[in-house]
Every structure is written in structure tokens, then in C-alpha cells.
Amino acid sequence: MKDNIVSGRVARFNARFTVLSVLALAISLLLSLSCTASAADTNVKESISMLKQRLADIDSQLSTLANYNPRSGVGVGGFRSSRRAQPDHLEWIEIDLGRSCKVDEVVLVPEIWRSTDTSLRADGFPEEFRILAGTAGDKRGKVIKSYTMEDRILPRIAPLVIPCDGIEASWIRLEATKLSPRSWDEGYALHLFEMLVFSGQENVALHRSVKASSYNKSTLAKINPAFLVDGFLPYVMDSAKGKGSNAFLAPSLSDQRGHLVIDLGKDHPVSGIHLHAVDLSDSIPQKRFNNFGMPRHLIVDGSNVPDFSDAETLTEFRVSSVFDAGPIMMKQFPASSYRYIRLRVIQPNRDEIVTAFIQTDGNVGFAEVEVFAGGINVAKGKHAAGSYNISSLNRTYAALTDGRNIYGEILPLRQWLGELALRHELLLERPQIQLRLNGMYEEQKNLLNRLMVLAVALAAAVVVTLVVNRMVRMRQIARIRERLAADLHDELGANLHTIGLLSDLAVDSRGDEHQFAEIHRRIRSESDRSGIEVRNSMDLLALDDFCSNLEGDMRRAARRIMAKLNHNLTIEGKTHIQKLKPRIRVDLFLFFKECLVNISRHSRASGISSHLSADQKGITLTIRDNGIGIEEQPSGYIPKSLGRRARLLRARVTIEHPAEGGTSVKLNIPAKQLGIFKSIYQ
């Protein structure tokens, strides 16, 4: 039984190896996918972490940057070119700085339009343009920066800051090569509210001469090239920093002349002054005009003695209407060294709304007075006084120099515009980062879903593999049992039948001592042979030379089993037979033996013939006898022992009863079945 035991062990080993292989493959796939997913997930998590950190940084920055706070009411506009029918039309603006200086930045402030959906947007801001700078002797200049539609500078309401890297220039020129449609008539034009040129902290373009390729002369009173550098901006300074303070505000004197004095503490080379208008309420509609509290005529003096006996006039402000006023009134003048600055009110501003109900001479007030020396506000925190009676405890002279307005800290002009520009960039970047984050979250979710599906699929595959493997093992066990039964039946049955025949012959030859001894020897030989075949019936393939000479084995078996019966064996295609695998030769030999045993037992035949042929089409074994045939059995009956051996060979067996008598057993093994055996036994 060695062969079947070994075959069973091999089958069990193969089954276990198959299961372990599938499990190992599944585990390796899971580990590989887990590593890949882990790496991808790590990369995604790192990217998500970086993007979340960037979002946090943006939000942190936005909380510290100045806010967009458009001014309301009535006021002067900026510059507008003539209307064009097509966008591809060159329009230009050139500012004469009056002197050569190092230019650090050019800031373009758009004209802002409130659209029909109540949102704000830049109106007439050029889609494609370039900035040029040059000196007095250089008429062509140098291109500092060019913008195209690919730069995506629109839409915007924030100023556009253009770095200039300290280029030496006495003039700055903007050339718009592609115009955008303006809102109210869809015509193409160049609109700008303000153009600032910074050298350090100083706006060197303030109140300088401006030339333009064209402008709308019909609205010259409200839209003029000079308005491009008048210092008025469409924003209210809302720095989002510090605590706000109420503006200084006092009723004008009866003689309508009063003054405010700021002690700078020491001499400073004063070169400019900014007057911040009284902050108007945010109520809608606005309850005051934009020039509320701003004197119609104001003269600024400088002095080095408290009594202003050596006073010199630095500049003056004239506000004849709301178009001459803005949130910040800016003036520059030649630098001179002074300690004391005086603001003389020549004509206060009368509040048209208030005087419609009560008789009053108006008010004088400022949110802040900034005095600049070298671009720095040297008046901040300095002592302020004046000739006016304070109207309330919240309206003090200290408010003139505390560096704050109602929204908080007052920023340097360049910093303020830079923060508005940076806010615009961050607000553009934030939704893009949020979109990328959402995409990564979705990708991470999809990855987890795919891993879950794959894990379920692999688990199902393992379960199916285990079930299939168990079924295969059961089939293998069944085949092993069937082969064991067939081998035992065919081997031992044939041998026992031979021993029985020899025993009968021994009884008949008791009078012949020599023949009796020979028969007795053969009985002993068959019994020993049966013992050996019992031990090897489970591992007939372990003997490499077993049935190596199939023809000889068949002839010897016929002589042993058929005893004195005539047997004729013919074989064709011996070359093909020698190429058969050992297991096929064994099964073929055992099938042949089982046929001989059945003929010997049941046929009462006096002679048999066997024919074995092999070619490219397959193997055919035909065994015929002249006996009585198979009695009392239905048509097509196949003895169980022959059917079992045929199944092991995956062959087709048929039994016929020729007209001349006897029985013909035919076994056919197609070539394709031999290929199957090749894959099994190789």
C-alpha cells in the first residue's frame, strides 16, 4: 500500500501547498497593496497636512491684513480713456515724476463697479499691459513688467502691486495693449482710479504731471488725467489692527478762524502731510457728505518757535465741493526743518444737512494728522492742541496724533496697499487649496474603498480556494481509494485466481510427483508475489522499471492466468507504447490482467486473442474470447472492475458480442487523454 499512501501524502501536501501559496499570495498582495496604499496614504496625508497648514497660514495671515472697505457717498473718480469698439487698441498713461529717483513699486488701483448682483469688481482694468520706466534722456524706456491674460490678474478689486527693484526713473508709463469692457455700455476703455509710484515710503507720483493717449473730455470735471495722481483712493483704511478711536471734532469758531498745533518734539525735515477725514458712519444711506468736518480752506505752516513768529507756509488745501475731498487728503512739498506744525482754518466746512434744520457755522475735524519726514510719520504720539472748544470727552486733541482711526491702527500708505494686494492673492489661493484638499479627501476615501473591496475580494478568493481545494482533496481521496480498490482487486484477484487454478491442477496431478512439485512451487511463487504486490500496490510508480516491458509482462501474465488456454497477443506501435508514462502502462497492464481473470473465471473459453495498437490518435486494446459471453446482463453492461480501471485511465471501454460467439472487450484511450495523464504524472 506504499504507493497509495505516498500518493495520498503527496496529494495532501500539494493541497496544503496550494492553500498556503494562495494565502501567501493574498497576504503578499495585501501587504504590497497596504504598503502602496500606506505610501500613497502617507503622501496624501503629508500633502493634506501641508495643504491644511497652508490653509491655516492663509487664515492666520488674513486675520492680520487690512480689509477691503470701499468708500461710499459722492467723490471724484479716476482716469478714463475714450471709448473704443474693439479691445485691441493701444491706450497709454505717462507720469512725469519731476525728478530722477529709485522706483521700488508701482501700484495700480482699479476703478470699482458695483454690478447688478451687488458684488464689486474692477471696471475697465486692462487685461494685457506693460509698465515702462525711463529717465529724462531715455525716451523709449525699459519694460519693467508685462501682463497677459494668462497671468489672471482679473477679476479683482484690490490694488495691483508691481515690483520695480529700485530702477532709476524720472517717468513711468503704462501701455494697455488689450482693453476690457466697461460695465455700463460694454465699450472698451482704460479705467484707473489711482496710480502710485513708491520710492521707499514716498509716493513720488502724487500731484505730478500726467499725459494720456486719450480721455473723455465730456466728463473732464469728474474724470481727468490729473485725478490719477490726486492721492484719493476708493478704499477706507480698515487695517484690522489695534483698537479704534473717535476722530477729533469741534464746532467752528464764531469768527470762523481757528487753528491746530502739533509739537513734533524736535526739528524734522518735513516734506508731506496727510489729513484723514472724520470717519463717517457705516449706515445706509450715508448720513453725511464725504467732506464732513473738512475745512473748505486750510493753510499748513511750519515753525521752530511755539509762537510761530518765524512761520512759513508749507502747503494749503482747498475743498470747494465733495469732489475735492476724500478719506485721505495728501500733500507734498519741499523738505524743510521744523518742530511745530500749524493748521490754520481759513474757512470751515458747513454741514448742508445740519444747516437745513438748525443755524450753525459747521464743524472742524480730522481722524488723524500725519506729518512726514523721510516717509515716516513724525507726528504720531506727539502733543496736539488748538483754539477750539472740545465738543465731548470722546473728541479730544489727542485723537489727532494717536495713529488710529475708527477701524484701528493707521498704516503707512505703501504697507496698506500691499496688504490689500496680498489679501487678494490669498483669497484667490484659498479656494484653490480647499478644492485640492477636497480632491485629496475624495482620493483618500476612494483608496480606502478600493482597499476594502480588494480585501473582501481576496478574502472571498481565499475562502473559494479553500472550498475548491477541499473538494479537490476529497476527489483525490476518492480517486486514491478507487485506485487502491482497483489495484488490490486486479493484482490480488488475478494472483488469487491463479493460485486457485494451480490448486485445482495440483489435485489433478497428485499421481505425478514431478508435476505436483512444480505446481506446488508455482503456488508458492504466486503467494510470495501476492505479498510483494500488496506492499507495492500503493506505489507501483516507485519502481521505475515496473511494466517497462509491457509486451513481456502481458505475455507472462497471460501464461500465468490462462494456464493451459491458448492466447494470441499482437502489438502495433511499440515505439509509441515505450513513450507512455509508467502510470499509464501500469493501468493498461492491470486492465489487461482483469480482463484475463474475468475470461478465465466466467467465459468457459478455450482460446483468447489480444491486440494492442498505439499511434498518434491514441491507444486501443482489444481482447476477444470464444466463450459463452456475458449472460443475463443488460445491453452495454460493463463489469465494475473494468469500468473502474477505465475511469482511472480516462478511457472508453465497450463490450460487444460477435455473431460467431464469445465476447470482445475494447478499450480506447484518445491522445488528448494521454496529454492529461502527461500533465498529471509527469
Cell numbers at residue 644, please? 473502474
Does the pLDDT of residue 501 top 80, yes or no?
A: no
C-beta of residue 109 within 8 angstroms of C-beta of residue 193 = yes
Grid cell digits, residue 154: 482679473
Residue 631 pLDDT level (bands cut at 50, 70, 90): low
Tell me the CB-side half-sphere exposure of residue 667, using CA atoms within 13 A: 29
Residue 644: pLDDT over 60? yes
Q: Over pLDDT 70: what percentage of the chain?
A: 77
Residue 45 has pLDDT above 70, yes or no: no
| Angle (CA) 34 39 45, round 5° | 115
532 against 410, higher pLDDT: 410
Task: State the pLDDT at residue 479.
Answer: 64
CA distance 417 to 422: 9
Interval 476-499 mean pLDDT: 63
* Spatial distance between the Cα atoms of 296 and 290, rounded to a whole number of angstroms: 13
Q: What is the gyration radius of the CA atoms in the chain, in angstroms?
A: 56
Is residue 611 pLDDT above 80, yes or no? yes
Residue 527 and residue 301: Cα distance in Å, rounded? 143
Q: Please report the pLDDT score of residue 358 as a whole number.
A: 41
Note the pLDDT of residue 359: 44
Contact at 8 Å (CB) between 210 and 225?
yes
Of 200-209, 223-232, 265-274, least confident by mean pLDDT is 223-232
> Which residues, 6+ apart, have CB-to-CB distance to 281 below 8 Å?
287, 288
CA distances from 633 to 591, 623, 629, 630, 667 (A): 21, 19, 10, 7, 20
Q: Which helix (H) or strand (E) is 299 found in, with range? A: strand 297-303
| Percent residues over pLDDT 90 in the chain | 43
Q: What interhelical angle do 2-62 and 413-487 show, nearest 10?
A: 170
Kindly indicate the confidence band of residue 201, based on its pLDDT and cuts at 50, 70 and 90. Answer: very high
Residue 496 scores a pLDDT above 80: no
Q: Which three cell numbers stand for residue 66?
A: 487690512
Q: What's the confidence (pLDDT) of residue 230?
A: 92
Q: What is the pLDDT of residue 528?
A: 64
Range with the largest mean pLDDT of 394-408, 528-542, 632-646? 394-408
Cβ atoms within 10 Å of 307's Cβ, excluding its own: 8
Query: What average pLDDT does the structure give for the chain?
Result: 82
Measure Cα distances from 148 to 40, 154, 177 in Å.
38, 10, 9
CA separation (Å) from 435 to 26, 40, 224, 552? 36, 19, 43, 85
Report d(CA 577, CA 613) in Å as an integer.
8
pLDDT band at 2 (very low <50, low <70, confident <90, very high): very low
Cα 72 to Cα 234: distance, rounded to the nearest angstrom: 8
Q: Which grid coordinates belong to 19?
A: 492553500
How confident is residue 643, by pLDDT bands cut at 50, 70 and 90?
Answer: confident
133 forms beta bridges with 142, 172
β-bridge pairing 566-572 and 607-615: parallel
- Residue linked to cell 478574502: 459
pLDDT at 351: 59
Which pLDDT score, from 0 to 100, does residue 443 have?
85
Q: Is 275 helix (H, G, I), strand (E, B) or coil?
A: strand
Residue 627, pLDDT score: 86
Whether 472 has a pLDDT exceeding 80, the answer reads no
- pLDDT of 209 above 90: yes
Residue 666 burial class via C-beta count within 10 angstroms: exposed 0-12, middle 13-18, buried 19 and up: middle
Span 665-677, pLDDT tens digits: 999 999 887 764 4
Higher model confidence: residue 63 or residue 36?
Answer: 63
- 604 or 673, which is more confident: 604
> Is it the case that residue 83 has pLDDT exceeding 70?
yes
What pLDDT shows up at residue 367? 93
- Residue 356 pLDDT > 50: no
pLDDT in tens, 576-603: 888 888 888 888 888 888 888 888 888 8
CB under 8 Å to 224, separation ≥6 — which residues?
79, 215
Residue with the bigger pLDDT between 33 and 341: it is 341
pLDDT of residue 40: 55
Alpha helices of 63-101 — where are they, by DSSP H?
Answer: none
Cis peptide preceding 285, ω within 30 of 0: yes
pLDDT > 80? residue 281: no
How many of the other CB atoms lie within 10 Å of CB of 435?
10
First to last CA, the chain: 21
Neighbours of 89 (CB within 10 A): 18
User: Which residue in the block uniquely carries the three cell numbers 516507485?
Assistant: 542
pLDDT at 19: 55
Tens of pLDDT, residue by residue over 425-468, are 999 999 999 999 898 888 888 888 888 888 888 888 888 888 88
548 against 612, higher pLDDT: 612
